[in-house]
Amino acid sequence: MTRGTIIGGAFATVLVLFALSPDDDPAAATSPTMIPSTPATHEGLLYGRVTTDDGEVYEGRLRWGGDEEALWGNYFNGFKDVNPWVAHAPPEQLPKERLSIEIFGIELAGWESQFDLGRPFMARFGDIARIEARGRDLRVTLKSGTVFDLDRFSADDLADGLRVWDGKRGVVDLGEWGIRTIEFLPSAPLGVAPYPLHGTVHTRHGDFTGLVQWDREDAIGPDELHGHTVDGELSLRFNAIRSIARRSSEGSLVTLLDGREIVLSDTRAVGHGNRGMYVDDQRYGRVLISWDAFERIDFSPGGTGPAYGDFPPGHPLTGSVVTRSGRRLAGRLVYDLDESESTETLDAPSQGVDYTIPFSLIASIVPPGLDEHDAQHARVTLHSGEELQLERTGDLGERNAGMLIFFDGRQRPEYVPWPDVEQVDFDRPPAMYQPSGLR
């Protein structure tokens, strides 16, 4: 059943937009002011088979938390139980930080401590074959066959549960502790289904185009933008919106498809409380655009995102490392004592935009020279030839734990601390995910 949200007051006529209850077919409620769903949109939506602890099996379209991640390009997040690569690095060469106890600016005690070498886990759903719940752990198997055990209680997306659009039983919401396994499958024909949000986000320093998650969450047309007008609270479906432009720290100008404009205020949704916009820009993988960097988004109608089959299995990272002393070591690489596959990502910001770049897209990384102590950027060159100047934080900062290089068939790798790295060059993987934009 649908409910109507009436926009009145300042408008000469009344516009009715429909919001869906969780169990509604997203195509069931449309109006001339909306972009209708189409049968061709299902390939980009998550799909899989879920087995519960009591042996029940559900298969269909999936969405995390009921209203969160819905697309193959979205990321599953967690935290790895152990970091097996640390054992290959000499403990005395691992990066350290100085800690101290101070009172009124006077240091009473100081000591050095090794950086925390535990690592978060991030993988696109299109790269994952299976997720299995194992008590306090989650076991994630990638398409490549690589297995990661995650700490279930450290920032896993499963905590919000999973919604399944089962072909026989309808919409089913499953809680975290009732799920045994999730097997991801190519999306089966779904008939009419919602389309993913797609658009161009404009910033002061450039534009980014691709699939969009507004406020890190809203990802499909029937999702709603909430806020306040002079006449009270208002909810707008994204498939009725043409553009959103920031007006102030507390509000935005929303333009509807029929040309009407609404000044919407809400620090959480359209103001400085907004957590940012994810854009799956095929040039970079995924970027997160902060509210401070955001200027305007123009939505593009219709289409779908990449399908499950558009994400090839990952490959081991290979390439070479040139050291400050001039040595060149070539072979299999482990970056930051963590990333070892082409589907894993380099994470670093620039001018209010956080880049999450799969290593399959990266040709080389050049940190600033030792004589450039004040340099704030590292040079990252993509296989496309584009160069990015990314800030020396995240995977490019002083907390980088260094490089492992397995060369000449040796079982034990050579370890190069990050300050000793002059340049890293990556081989192009045998198969690279090259999204074609909307289908």
306-364 pLDDT, tens digit each: 899 999 999 999 999 999 999 999 999 999 999 999 999 999 999 999 999 999 999 99
pLDDT band at 92 (very low <50, low <70, confident <90, very high): confident
Q: What is the DSSP letter of 239?
A: G
Q: 160 with 64: CB under 8 angstroms? A: yes
Q: How far apart are CA 231 and CA 229, in angstroms?
A: 5
Read off the pLDDT of residues 124-159 as tens digits, 9 standing for 90 and up: 999 999 999 998 899 999 999 999 999 988 867 888
Residue with tokens 């935009």: 353
Q: Is the pLDDT of residue 267 over 90?
A: no
Residue-level pLDDT at 340? 95
Q: How far apart are CA 177 and CA 174, in angstroms?
A: 8
Read off the pLDDT of residues 204-245 as tens digits, 9 standing for 90 and up: 889 999 999 999 999 999 999 999 999 999 999 999 999 999
Q: Is the pLDDT of residue 20 over 70?
A: no
**Residues with Cβ < 8 Å from 398, sequence gap 6 or more?**
95, 392, 418
Sign of CA dihedral 73, 51, 157, 163: positive
Q: Name the burial class of residue 406, with classes exposed (0-12), middle (13-18) and buried (19+) by CB atoms within 10 angstroms of its CB.
A: buried
Read off the pLDDT of residues 93-131 as tens digits, 9 standing for 90 and up: 887 666 667 776 776 666 566 667 778 899 999 999 999
Q: Looking at the DSSP assignment, which residues form a beta bridge with residue 106?
A: 103
Q: 140 with 146: CB under 8 angstroms? A: no
Pairing of strands 170-174, 345-350: unpaired
Q: How far apart are CA 304 and CA 40, in angstroms?
A: 7
Q: Report CA 351 to chain centroid distance, whole Å.
A: 18
Q: What is the dihedral of CA 140, 143, 145, 150, to 10 degrees?
A: -10
3-state secondary structure string, 339-365? ECECCCEEEEEECCEEEEEEHHHEEEE
pLDDT band at 286 (very low <50, low <70, confident <90, very high): very high
- 316: number of Cβ within 10 Å: 16
Q: Is the pLDDT of residue 37 over 90?
A: no
pTM: 0.85
In percent, how much of the chain has pLDDT > 90? 65
